Amino acid sequence: MALVAFLKITGSDGPARLMWGSDWPVLNLAGDYANWAALTDDLIRHLSAEDQNRIWGSTARGFLSPALTPAQAAESHCDH
């Protein structure tokens, strides 16, 4: 089910419009952070490294820091 939803979202909006989130600590009611991160890795492994970086952090950094250019946001890579 997660894969179907993910493919629908990336197909309509593209990975550049996605950002990862965990909803922690509420996430722990139905799973855990490690499993959510692993599921995300599985869902995005077919994407380019640039698109994976966007989802893991550069899109959020650009959204939260609008003064950053897309290139600056992408340079500040996020290791999950």
Residue 79, sorted as left (phi over 0), alpha (psi -120 to 50) or beta, turns out to be: beta
pLDDT average, residue stretch 22-48: 84
Q: How confident is the model at residue 17 (pLDDT cuts 50, 70, 90)?
A: confident
Q: Is residue 10 part of a domain?
A: no
Q: Is residue 32 part of a domain?
A: no
Q: Is residue 36 part of a domain?
A: no
Q: Is residue 59 part of a domain?
A: yes
Give the model's pLDDT for residue 70. 67
Q: Does 75 score more than 70 pLDDT?
A: no
CA 32 to chain CA mean position, Å: 17
Token pair of 38, please? 């692993």
Give the model's pLDDT for residue 73. 61
Tally of structural domains, the chain: 1
- Provide the domain limits for residue 77: 47-80
Residue 59 CB-density burial (10 A; 0-12 exposed, 13-18 middle, 19+ buried) = buried
Which of the pair, 42 or 14, is modelled with greater confidence? 42
pLDDT average, residue stretch 18-26: 77
Give the model's pLDDT for residue 80. 59
